[in-house]
């Protein structure tokens, strides 16, 4: 076992990371620094400080950081400039949070003189890859402890028994059976996995959803909203300028009210297995539709199509944990270049689980009504030109058909 001096633990204060904290103290006999990130998960984080103190963690070794603004501004918004969607549906809510957590963990390690970092991701999931690729990209010589790959506490029952044996405080909900799902939340989404959902043939229960009403229970009247963009990023909702994290929170509230953003998905994990998860991404679902709406009038056709070609690759890089890799950075540079003219206002209709663009306007629009009109265009477009264009594009097919007939 490698000698460990001081370790920075990504610490939520929940059952898993509380057990990990005690296990690290007993197994490695090292000094512990706890790091709790506020990414807008909507939970009270001060109890994590209290628990850490109960474990004997020095006050100066307890970090609880508000990262909401950085998360949305520097991670969520750049991802949405690409319209990134994994496997056609998933808006990457968990995936995009991991590189920021890894970044801040490494920063804290440097600040506190720690030689090691640790996380609570299991050996079956994607998060272990995302965290550790981030660690090594930002600090190549860092040591990593992944308890789930080392210990034998591989079930919830064993974790509870360990907690009871070592006097680790456990909330009553855990003792009485707990929530039937493993949940992860931040400002972009909340995810649900495990237990009941491990059977892909089992319907998710209505009581599971936290952020959205059911579409059937949503208001019987539509609501119209406007989202303003500047250089590809949303800057205002209904004319009100907002900071990035406040803007996303507002879109979450609007989407949740109208039952927008629910997803039940079987996805392909990077480690090789299929996994079933349910997600609520109300604000992100609105943002994706709005961004594509403003791009539809401000992006050149071939640029838009190139972005669409690159998007699945970009989304996979984020899903698999390669945010800090040079290929993602290179793609981001190209994507950001395309967003210089993505400015303007999109109007959307929210109604019973659906979000649709109803109008879009921009000073940088490429839509020319004089050319596109079905009425008299005054000579702006010569329809006769289309004949030669079509013949030239048909030339290779005509040649191939003539050659085929000669052979028969």
User: From the candidates 12, 16, 81, 262, which is the catalytic residue?
Assistant: 16
Q: Which of 183, 2, 189 is nearest to 90 (CA)?
A: 189
Active site residue 127: yes
- Alpha-carbon distance of 206 to 259, in angstroms, equals 12
* 265 φ/ψ angles, rounded to the nearest 5 degrees: -135, 135
Q: CA-CA distances (angstroms) from residue 320 to 115, 127, 191, 325?
A: 25, 9, 17, 11
Structure tokens at 90: 């998933």
Residue 340, SS3 per DSSP: helix
Contact 360, 227 (CB under 8 A): no
Active site residue 309: no
Structure tokens at 174: 């855990």
Active site residue 361: no
Contact 297, 367 (CB under 8 A): yes
Q: What helix, strand, coil percent values describe the chain, rounded to 5?
A: 45, 20, 35
Helix pair 282-298, 244-257: axis angle to 10 deg: 110
User: From the candidates 18, 127, 184, 233, which is the catalytic residue?
Assistant: 127
User: From the candidates 65, 73, 112, 182, which is the catalytic residue?
Assistant: 182
97: Cα separation from own chain's centroid: 6
Residue 321, SS3 per DSSP: coil
Among all chains, which residue has been given the structure tokens 């005690």? 22
Strand partners, 262: 280
Active site residue 98: yes
User: From the candidates 49, 81, 98, 360, which is the catalytic residue?
Assistant: 98
- Alpha-carbon distance of 58 to 392, in angstroms, equals 75
Residues involved in catalysis: 16, 98, 127, 182
């Amino acid at each position: 076992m490698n000698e460990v001096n001081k370790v920075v633990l990504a610490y939520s204060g929940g059952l898993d990371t509380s057990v990990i904290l005690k296990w690290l103290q007993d197994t490695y006999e090292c000094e512990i620094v706890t790091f709790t990130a506020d990414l807008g998960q909507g939970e009270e984080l001060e109890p994590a400080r209290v628990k850490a103190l109960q474990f004997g963690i020095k006050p100066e070794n307890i970090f609880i950081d508000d990262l909401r603004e950085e998360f949305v501004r520097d991670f969520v918004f750049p991802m949405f400039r690409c319209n990134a969607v994994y496997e056609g549906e998933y808006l990457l809510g968990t995936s995009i949070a991991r590189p920021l957590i890894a970044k801040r963990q490494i920063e804290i390690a440097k600040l506190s003189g720690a030689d090691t970092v640790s996380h609570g991701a299991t050996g079956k999931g994607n998060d272990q890859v995302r965290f550790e690729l981030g660690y090594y990209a930002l600090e190549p010589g860092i040591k990593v402890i992944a308890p789930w790959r080392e210990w034998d506490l591989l079930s919830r029952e064993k974790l509870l028994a360990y907690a009871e044996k070592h006097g680790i405080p456990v909330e009553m909900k855990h003792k009485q059976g707990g929530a039937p799902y493993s949940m992860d939340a931040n400002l972009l989404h909340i995810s649900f996995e495990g237990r009941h959902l491990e059977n892909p043939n089992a319907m998710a229960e209505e009581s599971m959803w936290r952020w959205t009403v059911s579409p059937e229970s949503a208001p019987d009247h539509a609501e119209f909203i406007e989202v303003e963009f500047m250089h590809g990023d949303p800057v205002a909702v209904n004319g009100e300028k907002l900071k990035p994290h406040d803007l996303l929170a507002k879109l979450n509230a609007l989407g949740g009210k109208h039952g927008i953003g629910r997803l039940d998905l079987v996805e392909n994990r990077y480690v090789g297995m299929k996994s079933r998860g349910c997600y609520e991404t109300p604000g992100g679902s609105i943002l994706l539709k709005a961004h594509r709406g403003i791009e539809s009038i401000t992006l050149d056709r071939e640029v838009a199509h190139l972005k669409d070609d690159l998007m699945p690759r970009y989304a996979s890089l984020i899903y698999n944990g390669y945010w800090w890799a040079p290929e993602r950075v290179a793609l981001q540079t190209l994507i950001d270049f395309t967003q210089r003219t993505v400015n303007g206002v999109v109007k959307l209709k929210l109604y019973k689980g659906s979000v649709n663009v109803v109008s879009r306007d921009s000073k940088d629009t490429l839509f020319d009504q004089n050319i596109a009109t079905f009425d008299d265009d005054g000579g702006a477009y010569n329809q006769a030109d289309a004949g030669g264009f079509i013949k030239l594009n048909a030339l290779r097919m005509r040649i191939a058909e003539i050659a085929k007939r000669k052979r028969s």
